[in-house]
Amino acid sequence: MDTINQQVQQNRRRTWSVMAFFVVLIAVIGFLIGLVFAVATQDESIDWLIPTYTMVGFLIGATIYSFFVYMSVTNILMKSANAHQLQESDDPELFNIVSDLVMVAHIPMPAIYLTDDPSPNAFATGRDPQHAAVAVTKGLREMMNREELEGVLAHEISHIKNYDIRVSSITVALTTFIAGAGTVLIVSGISLIRGGRWFSWFGSDSDDDAKSSWAIAVGILVFGLIMWLGGWIIRAVGVPVAQILQFSVSRERESLADVSGVNLTRDPQGLINALTLLKNDTTPTNNPTAKSAALYINEPVTRQGKTPFLAKMFDTHPPLDERIARLKRLLGEQ
């Protein structure tokens, strides 16, 4: 079994691996979009500087955008989850549990949030242990006793201590950039298509000017159509690939956080009981599309009683039975 320090080092390496995959993905998307433009605008040989410049532009844009998202990832995810920050006077017991756990973990006190979601769940986010936050749902808070709640929160504190939150923050930032780039291209393409339809009306009455206006209008329409198609290609291909990368680290991360959490509480039974409750619960989430869903301690369930498609498709969490069995083995070893 890995030690905490080994897990931290592993997650740092994983961070760089995920970032490298995203950089390659963004570079490929930028290059292909530029290549389409080059093919559409060049009559003879392709000007390879066009896709090169487009690729560089995408990489620069991703760097700038991702930096700002990364710096404010807590606010973004908490807003997506409809969570509000708590003060100690709002829930003294919850703050007391977290305070005890971070003292054992030797990390600063994270901000604590509560969502009104009736489905029992929790997640941690932030840039690093100095800029971290933990959120629990109303359903989780009402369902679990102190021992069970301590087990869940120890799991989330472990995500913070092990720097799992840094990996997830970076992937959230880059995934939203790719999705945003696709949306911008779609909207821009539609705007150009609409503008090109009317451009010819502004030409003069002479035949030469009319032909010139029509040529420009057709060029704008083609350019807009390319942007529109490129945006949908990014949304249809780039975003799912980005989400695969985002979810690729979730499965092992959850199992490691279970074990690390037990190292903090020295009480496997608390987390075993908590995971058993989650396993038997079918309360649907009221926010299945939250950006934080991939970070939850348990896969959320929709009102149709199903796990959200992407979470199910990419198997972001180990089965609860598997996690419970692993913890029971730990209990037997004590």
88 is catalytic: no
**Cβ pair 228, 182 in contact under 8 A:** no
φ, ψ dihedrals at 112, nearest 5°: -120, 130
How far apart are alpha carbons 112 and 98 in whole angstroms?
A: 9
SS3 252: helix
Residue of 44, 147, 150, 156 with catalytic role? 156
- Compute CA distances 188 → 50, 56, 208, whole Å: 19, 20, 29
The amino acid occupying position 167 is: V
Residue burial 39-73, b: 16+ Cβ < 10 Å; e: rest: eeeeeeeeeeebbebbbeebeebbeebbeebbeeb
How far apart are alpha carbons 290 and 311 in whole angstroms?
A: 12
Characterize the bridge pairing of strands 111-115 and 122-126: unpaired
**Cβ pair 203, 240 in contact under 8 A:** no
DSSP 238: I
DSSP 89: G
User: Which residues lie closer than 8 Å to 123 by C-beta, 6 or more apart?
Assistant: 77, 81, 134, 135, 156, 292, 295, 296, 297
Count CB neighbours of 106 within 10 A: 8
Q: Which residues are catalytic?
A: 156
